Structure 1
Amino acid sequence: MHRLGQGFYPRPTYDRSMRVFLGPAGIPVAAEERTTTGGLLTLRRLGLDAMEVEFVRSVYLSRGAAESVGELADQLGIQLTVHAPYFINLLSEKRETVEASKRRILESLDRAEAMKAEAVVVHPAYYGKLGREEAFEEMERVTHELLDGAEAIGGKAKLAYETMAKESQFAGLDELLRLVETVKSSRLTICVDFAHLYVRGNGRINYAEVLDKLRNFSHIYSHFSNMKYNPKTRRFTDIHEPIDDHPPFKPLAEEILRRGIDITIISESPILEADSLKMKETLKELGYKL
């Protein structure tokens, strides 16, 4: 069931200065050359204009290679973001885990600067034994340390904490918004994973409410996919599926266009760029000229 608001909405009109960037998380499935540069060339051919470079297992690009990727992306008109390694827990009880997590994030930020990527997306932490307020205070402290490290690297790539699916994970949208407001840094932002919010809401998401909370952001970084339903538990789980109706994309597209939002939407669907193209087609049907 989708809580998408009530009433009939006319076809949305939009501010023609707005920009929607669409592309996959990682190298497109269709890329014959299985490299980051090969992926960029494939995206150009397909008419997509964003890619999230996936460092989820390791930061696999040297600084020189990252610079080459950035130069090609700039030539092709493709916006880059980066996803930091999954092996991160900034709230771990083990100090060595926290320090290793910080190093992975800062290494990702370094490569992001080299390729002129706009943001580094991070799965920040698990609550563990910490209470919510204690966890928030520790995240605030560690985030300041990371931002100090980012300043030492230089540049302007943002640190983008991702909204997470599980209640055991830091954090939901409201906590991340509070963190951004508390830290008050132009280098800290959020990556809104709409599918994660859908799971966290047990199959419910109110796009208008989510976007209202993000109205002060000049640009929104986001992920989109569908999520798997488990009939035994009667809950959605954090397993990505191709775009269908869990959650639906069209109501989100309507809200984006109605509000004239600048946004990057990265497809985390198993079929990656195929669903980016599906989202592009939906936006075109609603009147947006890409």
Structure 2
Amino acid sequence: MKPNVIFGPAGRPVDYKGSAYTACGYIANEGLDAYEYQAGRGLRIGEKSANILKEDSIKEDILVSLHAPYYINLSAVDDKKLNMSIEVMMKAAQAAQWMGAYRIVFHPGYYSKNSPKEALRIAKKSINTLLSRLDEEGVSEYTFAPETTGKRSQLGNIDEIIEICSSFDCFEPTIDFAHIHARGRGYIKKKEDYNCIFSKLEDGLDIDRLHCHFTRIEYTKAGERRHHTFEEEEYGPELKWLLESFIENDWKATIICETPLLDQDALKMKNLYESLL
């Protein structure tokens, strides 16, 4: 039986030489239980490769998620960019259905010239259009997972993510704790700061398994700047406090490691978690 909190890399493991869609066996052999397939630079996986990924993930008991392209902007001012973003989201949903991904992670958009309230309104309208089109195309096996974003210019603070997810049945949050930390210019200073995040989630959403990202992070006044490894302790946020909070509150979670060392740091995170049980 798997533990409540499981770990995996954001993309192909550091020393793995094969194709990204055949990485599940390697990840399982390392002792990890999750894998986020990265399509941040563009969604290029076809149905055949996605089916192989699905078959391997079932065989190896790896929980798969998909990170959609970074250039999605569901709050775009320009109609052309908005329509392109909806089209990319549709392709991501189709790919996720092929590969059996339990979450489709994406960055909602940017405020641009709009107020945060108006940007959120446009994004929700875009999502309604997306869901209608997916229904027309017969794509139904998906769960979109908007991510808390790291730059202060981006739509995606925790309240906005909760608002989006509470508005649609097929949406669950992706909580990137490093992004919350960076966006808040060092927000997570103590263990109770994690508990404040959990309280917001519990008050606003009904979550069975929380999908998360974690890395140590460097930030500026504008928010996120650069990811750092687990061992670079001069950068926050603190992982131990997060794991203790998960254990104390009996949360189920998938933690995707986004440090430069991906699977290697995911294993260190898993070892720390097991030492706290």
Whether the 8 Å CA contact 1:22–1:48 is kept in 2: the answer is: yes
* CA distance in 2 between partners of 1:121 and 1:229 (Å): 22
254, 269, 274: which one aligns with 1:264 = 254
Q: What is the TM-score with the length of structure 1 in the denominator?
A: 0.87
How far the C-alpha of 1:17 sits from its partner, in A, is: 8.3
How far the C-alpha of 1:150 sits from its partner, in A, is: 3.6
Name the amino acid aligned to 1:218: D
Residues 181-192 of structure 1 mapped to structure 2, 5 A cutoff: 181=166, 183=167, 185-192=168-175
Percent of aligned pairs sharing the same letter: 29
SS state of the match for residue 185, structure 2?
coil
Whether the 8 Å CA contact 2:21–2:52 is kept in 1: the answer is: no
* CA distance in 2 between partners of 1:145 and 1:18 (Å): 38
Higher-helix-fraction structure: 2
Unaligned runs of 5+ in 1: 1-15
Q: Which residue does 2:228 correspond to in 1?
A: 241
CA deviation string 1:125-176 (max 9, x = no partner): 1111111221121111111122223434433321111101111100100111
* CA distance in 2 between partners of 1:155 and 1:29 (Å): 33
How far the C-alpha of 1:83 sits from its partner, in A, is: 0.4
Aligned residues: 266
Residues 172-251 of structure 1 mapped to structure 2, 5 A cutoff: 172-181=157-166, 183=167, 185-205=168-188, 206-215=193-202, 216-229=206-219, 237-243=224-230, 244-245=232-233, 246-251=236-241
Q: Which residue does 1:123 correspond to in 2?
A: 107
* CA distance in 2 between partners of 1:283 and 1:209 (Å): 21
Greater shift in the superposed pair: 48-57 or 145-154: 145-154
Q: Which residue does 1:139 correspond to in 2?
A: 123
* CA distance in 2 between partners of 1:223 and 1:159 (Å): 15
Name the amino acid aligned to 1:33: G
How far the C-alpha of 1:28 sits from its partner, in A, is: 0.4
Name the amino acid aligned to 1:191: T
* CA distance in 2 between partners of 1:150 and 1:189 (Å): 17
* CA distance in 2 between partners of 1:251 and 1:214 (Å): 17
* CA distance in 2 between partners of 1:177 and 1:135 (Å): 15
Name the amino acid aligned to 2:173: I
Alignment of 1:70 with 2:76, yes or no, is: no
218, 234, 252: which one aligns with 2:242 = 252
Q: Which residue does 1:157 correspond to in 2?
A: 142
SS state of the match for residue 251, structure 1?
helix
Alignment of 1:27 with 2:17, yes or no, is: no
Name the amino acid aligned to 2:71: F
Whether the 8 Å CA contact 2:43–2:69 is kept in 1: the answer is: yes
CA deviation string 1:168-192 (max 9, x = no partner): 10010011112222x2x32112111
SS state of the match for residue 172, structure 2?
strand
Alignment of 1:113 with 2:100, yes or no, is: no
* CA distance in 2 between partners of 1:153 and 1:54 (Å): 24
SS state of the match for residue 160, structure 1?
strand
SS state of the match for residue 21, structure 1?
strand
* CA distance in 2 between partners of 1:123 and 1:115 (Å): 20
Q: Which residue does 2:68 correspond to in 1?
A: 84
* CA distance in 2 between partners of 1:259 and 1:56 (Å): 32
How far the C-alpha of 1:209 sits from its partner, in A, is: 0.6
Whether the 8 Å CA contact 2:219–2:225 is kept in 1: the answer is: no
How far the C-alpha of 1:236 sits from its partner, in A, is: 6.1
Q: Which residue does 1:8 correspond to in 2?
A: none
Distance change in 2, residues 1:115/1:17 (3 Å): closer
* CA distance in 2 between partners of 1:250 and 1:44 (Å): 24
Q: Which residue does 2:37 correspond to in 1?
A: 53
Distance change in 2, residues 1:236/1:163 (3 Å): closer
